[in-house]
Structure 1
Amino acid sequence: MITERLNELFWIYLVGINLYTLILMYYDKRQARKREWRIPESQILLAGVLGGGPAGLISQQLFRHKTKKPKFYVAFIIGSVVFCGILYFYFTNYYG
């Protein structure tokens, strides 16, 4: 019972943090085009580092946003490593 719930939470977190990062990047780009209030960079960076790196890297190319700022690339790479680490931990502990 507990293992099933943790399994669900695991996938909800990984999908959620990546979806959240994608939405942040999309919304920030849209706001930039309209020259209106923007998402704080720290919020996007934090989402990326906490596992949203894959969505951040995809968003950079998809929306052509934050591509000239190395700190975003680094944060998204770190977040991708975190994402892969979480997947590795999950699959080695539950299926290994």
Structure 2
Amino acid sequence: MEVLLLYFLIINFAVLIIAGYDKYLAIKNKRRISEKALFSMALLGGSVGLLLAMFSLRHKTNKSSFIVKFSGIFLIQLIVIYFSLIHKI
């Protein structure tokens, strides 16, 4: 269980840093990190880190298509966690 917790801490911290770097690139009008990469990291368990980046850095909060896709990923993960806890998989 500790390994899983450590994994989630690392992936969420990494996503937060990468999203922050993407925000920096956006401000500097440089080539950006793709949304596909951000969504992939969220799917791998970094949803909380991306959510923190969205709120704390105001990153991608004006892009409704991003918010809808991210919300779908987050909702699916919440459902999986809910049923995992109920059925103790």
Correspondent of 2:34 among 40, 60, 69: 40
Larger Rg: 1
Q: Distance in 2 between matches of 1:80 and 1:55?
A: 15
Q: Distance in 2 between matches of 1:14 and 1:83?
A: 14
Structure 1 contact 60–67 (Cα < 8 Å) conserved: yes
Structure 1 contact 45–72 (Cα < 8 Å) conserved: no
Structure 1 contact 21–47 (Cα < 8 Å) conserved: yes
Match of 1:69 in 2: 63
**Structure 2 letter corresponding to 1:73:** I
Identical counterparts, % of pairs: 32
Deviation of the 1:89 alpha carbon: 3.5
Moved more, 71-80 or 34-43: 71-80
TM-score, normalisation: structure 2? 0.73
Deviation of the 1:79 alpha carbon: 3.2
Moved more, 34-43 or 66-75: 66-75
* Structure 1 unpaired stretches of 5+: 1-6
4+ runs of 1 displaced by more than 4 Å? Answer: 90-94
TM-score, normalisation: structure 1? 0.69
Q: Distance in 1 between matches of 2:82 and 2:45?
A: 10
